[in-house]
Structure 1
Amino acid sequence: MSAGAAEMPPVVRRPRGSQDVRARATRERIGRVVAPIVVGLAVLGVWQFLVSVVGVSDYLLPSPAAIAEEFVAFAPAILAAAGVTGFNALVGLVVGTVLGILLAWAAAQWRAIDAMAAPVVAALAVVPIVALAPVLNTMFGADSQFGRQAIAAIAAFVPVFVNTLRGLRQAAPVHRELMRVYAASGTQTFRTVTLPTAVPFLLTGIRIASSLAVISALVAEYFGGPRGGLGSFISTSAASSAYARAWAYVVAAIALGLLFMLATALLERIVLRHRPAA
């Protein structure tokens, strides 16, 4: 063997298993993006076919092309309405989240508060929005958005409270006993054991509450109060037989709900990524 051949560095081969895992993960990421797009395009194609070829009446189902035309024509009004509904939903989400966390913490600390809060939360969980919205809109006046924000806050409060309370009770007893052996204070135990365990449950509750806040704010706009939200324009457009325009506002409402859901999902990913490993 020559001296040059003897001095050649060895070839490092990566394990084929790791390459297969990375390739599979890449295919899964691409599939999660491509699959919804393909399904959405297929649904739009069938929708357009039913209207254009089968002859479904615009009264029953406007075509996607007509909805797109109305969306472009009324884009400024749609964006302004989405801003009103989105602000009401955001205020309700923040207020409901804060109240849910505080009450869940108190219920986890004191059994008496837990016993008193349980029936109230159960009642709020089943209260119908269509019955509560007219009452609150009448109470706070036709020019106030507070009624809609209160409805969104009630809708967001329930899942945040339930999930946070469950998370606060998930800490293993052995961990609590260990902190007691170390003579840790109640605050130290809460910060190092209870809270890290409850964070994933809290984030799940916020993600669920984000969609409920948008839906509640949207539905509340049907029943009085100031004009300007998506719900008001949907009902007005449908009442004036502008069905394609009403569907354009519905599309904006769907986009707003998806925006809230994606924002909370991103928040969940960021927080859990920086969460210390168990």
Structure 2
Amino acid sequence: MRAGTVRGSRTRTILAPLILGILALLLWQLIVVGFGIKPYVLPSPLSIADRFGQSVGTVWTGTRITGLNALIGLVVGGIIGIVGAILSALVRVLDQLSAAVVTALSVVPIVALAPVLYTMFGAGAETARQLVAALAVFIPVYFNTLRGLRQVRPVLQDLMRAYAASPWQRTRTVTVPGALPYIFTGLRVASSLAVISALIAEYFGGPVDGLASSITSAAAYSNYTLAYAFVLGAILLGLAFYLVTLALEKLATRHSPAPS
């Protein structure tokens, strides 16, 4: 009975946004056709899908480049965020010293940072985009991980101390497993931010081979349907990042249940 209820809940969770999305696309199509809206104002979903199919190779090239930058940023920023949070949880002085720095980093505007990084690493390198994505990822991963590490029940910590466990042993066997839901919450949020940040960074220079550069180029030549096709590629890329992160979360929490 319970298994059936769980499956029904999962089905509703998948079908509800899917149906809503389909209805939104139908409404979009009806509005464009019904009001005779010109493509340069708003293309219809069918025309965008058709253009996407015609240009799938070009869209894939841009998606691959932007996706690689976002992936590198996600991995680098995620690792630094998790390790930094663990160190801050272990060393109180480090937590106090890093609080102001991390808070300052969280309000750094990408529009100001990207041009500076292009100047530092060169306009022909992808490094600036990867660093921008890593910074965007680091903030939510760090804060969520640190919060999770602080949520471990004191009785479990006391039990590990009674067994003369070292701080690292307590962190590895109790604190980190208990914080996994918080860690993956930060990673899920960061997965979308990595794609968004990599896209935004492309608008301020660098190689003209990513999705955002392609969107700008298509719009500059008044090829708005193609521009929306690249936007669709960016949406699919963001969804792919989110779903893969969600799948990893399910896998990790299934094999490493939080202590209770």
TM-score by length of 1: 0.89
Q: How has the CA–CA distance of structure 1 residues 52 and 139 changed in structure 2, closer, same or farther, with 3 Å as cutoff?
A: same
Select between 170-179 and 209-218 the one with higher mean Cα deviation: 170-179
Structure 1 equivalent of residue 99 of structure 2? 118
Separation in structure 2 between the aligned mates of residue 32 and residue 181 of structure 1, nearest angstrom: 44
Give yes or no for contact 2:90–2:167 (8 Å, CA) kept in 1: no
Q: Which residue of 2 aligns with 1:183?
A: 164
What is the total number of aligned residue pairs between the two structures?
259
Among residues 217, 221, 225, which one is paired with 1:244 in the alignment? 225
What is the CA distance between 1:25 and its match in structure 2? Answer: 3.2
Alignment of 1:187-266 (within 5 A): 187-266=168-247
Q: Tell whether 2:48 aligns with 1:48.
A: no
Does residue 127 in structure 1 map to residue 108 in structure 2? yes
1:9 paired residue number: none
Ranked by relative contact order (alpha carbons within 8 Å, sequence separation 6 or more), the top structure is: 2
Unaligned runs of 5+ residues in structure 1 are 1-17
**Stretch of structure 1 that moved more, 141-150 or 50-59:** 50-59
Larger Rg: 1
The residue type equivalent to 2:161 in the other structure is R
Aligned-residue sequence identity (percent) comes to 51
The 3-state SS of whatever aligns with 1:59 is coil
Distance 1:105 1:27, change over 3 A: closer
Matches of 2:115 and 2:166 in 1, distance apart?
48
CA offset at residue 267 of structure 1?
A: 0.3
Distance, in Å, in 1 between the alignment partners of 2:162 and 2:6 is 44
Give matches, 1:1-278, under 5 Å. Answer: 18=1, 21-276=2-257, 278=260
Deviations 1:106-126 (CA, angstroms, capped at 9, x unpaired): 211222211221111111211
The amino acid that maps onto 1:69 is: D
Quote how far apart the aligned CAs of 1:22 are.
4.2
Q: Is the 8 A contact 2:65 2:210 kept in 1?
A: yes
Q: Distance in 1 between matches of 2:7 and 2:165?
A: 45
Q: 1: distance between equivalents of 2:229 and 2:146?
A: 39
After TM superposition, the structure 1 stretch with the greater mean CA deviation from structure 2, 194-203 or 180-189, is 180-189
Deviation of 1:183 after TM superposition, in Å, equals 2.0
> 3-state SS of the aligned residue for 2:79?
helix
Q: Which moved more, 1:109-118 or 1:217-226?
A: 109-118
Mapped partners of 1:34, 1:108: distance in 2: 40
Following superposition, the deviation at residue 37 of structure 1 comes to 2.4
**Closer, same or farther in 2 for the Cα pair 1:134/1:197, shift >3 Å?**
same
Structure 2 vs 1, CA of residues 183 and 90 (structure 1 numbering), >3 Å: closer, same or farther?
same
Q: Distance in 2 between matches of 1:135 and 1:218?
A: 16
Alpha-carbon distance, 1:155 to partner: 0.3
Distance 2:164 2:13 in 1: 48
Long gaps (5+) in structure 2: none
Amino acid at match of 1:115: Q
Q: TM-score w.r.t. structure 2 length?
A: 0.95
Secondary structure at the counterpart of residue 67 of structure 2: helix
Q: 1:179 to 1:259 in 2, by over 3 A?
A: same
